[in-house]
């Protein structure tokens, strides 16, 4: 990680204090940040992204000690998970304090909180001294940015400053767990798996694998490139590619294996073999599909192990099928 210049951090903190927008790197994806206590600044996030106003945002804080400034009736499970995973890619949904702006929570009586594990994000949070509301720094419904260049491509001059902290090391959004009721429930899968959470809590957790995930503000189509995304198993991927190719479409294949029998002019977007590396690469590949002007992207479903669950979820949403039960490689 390159050493980040302090003046830029101070300048970014000052922009936040004045009500502006700063795009910041985190270990998951780049966020579009605003002062979470300033409803006017938060409103600008929705304008910049073109996002419906009732979608709640995640508030980023510098450490677990700040939880009590945003949430109340904080259960023991929240402290245990914060201790185990913060700073890191886990977001806790908790009952909110009354003074948390409705603009941040989408009018819900809960608030989502996370301590990111990125030196630039943490430096900014410490210099700013408050909570930063930050959704992913992309236009609504599109692929999340994992580099400063991606943010420029997505939002251009709609943001007052972009802090460049290099490429995001994880590459997909945080796991979200709702702890606002007596039964912990995962709302969005991510790098921190259901099993890792169960190991810490030593109690049951409602996971996402058997139910369609519906968390407020999430929708069946999300993380979508311009191309139509077709989900496939390794066995039927080539057939799918051929069919779309024969219909005259510019087709790409997202796969960790070089498959034989592909028609000429079909672009192979290679994927690594491990699900961790695939998470790191996914949004880069979807963006590459846009740069290549692909019309159809046939994606071989990753294995549903570890972060693979989150990959399957994101690909299903990229295909506009996030309202279906999460399917895994074996089910295609």
**Interacting residue ranges for ligand AMP, rule: CB under 6 A:** 56-58, 93, 105, 108, 110-112, 135-136, 173, 176, 187-188, 215-218
Query: Are residues 145 and 29 in contact, defined by beta-carbon separation less than 8 angstroms?
Result: yes
Number of residues that bind Mg ion (CB under 5 A): 1
Segment near Mg ion (CB under 5 A), from 11-19, 80-88, 133-141, 307-315?
133-141
To the nearest whole angstrom, how small is the minimum distance from the Cβ of residue 203 to ligand AMP?
20
Q: How many CA atoms lie within 13 A of 252 on its CB side?
A: 24
Contacts of 227 (CB under 8 A, 6+ apart): 252, 289, 290, 294, 295, 296, 297
Nearer to ligand AMP, 105 or 278 (CB): 105
Please name every residue paired with 71 in a beta bridge, in sequence order, or none if there are none. Answer: 96
Residue among 282, 288, 54 nearest 173 (CA): 282
The span from the first CA to the last CA of the chain, in angstroms, equals: 39
Task: Select from Mg ion, ligand AMP, none the partner in contact with residue 259, using the beta carbon and a kind-dependent cut-off of 5 to 8 Å.
Answer: none
Residue 307: CB atoms within 10 Å? 26
Task: Select from ligand AMP, Mg ion, none the partner in contact with residue 226, using the beta carbon and a kind-dependent cut-off of 5 to 8 Å.
Answer: none
To the nearest whole angstrom, how small is the minimum distance from the Cβ of residue 136 to Mg ion?
3
**Would you count residue 28 as binding Mg ion (CB under 5 A)?**
no
Nearer to ligand AMP, 67 or 296 (CB): 67
Nearer to ligand AMP, 108 or 275 (CB): 108
Output the furthest CA–CA distance in the chain (Å, rounded). 60
To the nearest whole angstrom, how small is the minimum distance from the Cβ of residue 88 to ligand AMP?
15
**Would you count residue 136 as binding Mg ion (CB under 5 A)?**
yes
Residue among 47, 187, 33, 173 nearest 108 (CA): 187
- Residues within the interface to Mg ion (CB under 5 A): 136
């Amino acid at each position: 990680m390159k050493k980040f210049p302090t003046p830029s951090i101070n300048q970014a903190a000052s922009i936040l204090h004045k009500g502006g927008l700063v795009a910041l790197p985190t270990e998951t994806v780049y966020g579009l940040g605003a002062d979470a206590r300033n409803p006017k600044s938060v409103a600008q996030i929705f304008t910049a992204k073109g996002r419906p106003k009732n979608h709640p945002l995640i508030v980023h804080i510098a450490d677990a000690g700040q939880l009590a400034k945003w949430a109340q009736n904080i259960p023991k499970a929240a402290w245990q998970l914060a201790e185990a995973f913060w700073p890191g890619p886990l977001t806790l949904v908790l009952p909110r304090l009354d003074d948390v702006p409705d603009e941040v929570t989408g009018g819900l009586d809960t608030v989502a909180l996370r301590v990111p594990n990125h030196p630039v994000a943490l430096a900014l949070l410490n210099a700013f001294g408050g909570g930063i509301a930050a959704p992913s720094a992309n236009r609504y419904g599109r692929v999340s940015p994992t580099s400063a260049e991606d943010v420029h491509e997505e939002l251009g001059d709609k943001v007052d400053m972009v802090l460049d902290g290099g490429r995001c090391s994880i590459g997909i959004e945080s796991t979200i767990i709702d702890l606002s009721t007596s039964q912990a429930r995962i709302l969005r899968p991510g790098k921190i798996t259901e099993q890792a959470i169960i190991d810490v809590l030593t109690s049951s957790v409602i996971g996402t694998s058997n139910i369609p995930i519906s968390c407020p503000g999430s929708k069946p189509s999300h993380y979508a490139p311009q191309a139509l995304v077709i989900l496939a198993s390794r066995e039927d991927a080539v057939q799918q590619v051929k069919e779309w190719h024969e219909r005259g479409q510019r087709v790409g294949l997202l796969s960790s294996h070089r498959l034989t029998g592909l028609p000429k002019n079909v672009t192979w977007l290679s994927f690594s073999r491990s699900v961790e590396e695939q998470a790191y690469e996914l949004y880069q590949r979807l963006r590459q599909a846009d740069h290549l002007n692909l019309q159809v992207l046939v994606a071989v479903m990753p294995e549903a192990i570890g972060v693979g669950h989150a990959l399957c979820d994101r690909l299903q949403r990229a295909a506009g099928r996030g309202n279906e039960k999460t399917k895994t490689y074996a089910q295609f």
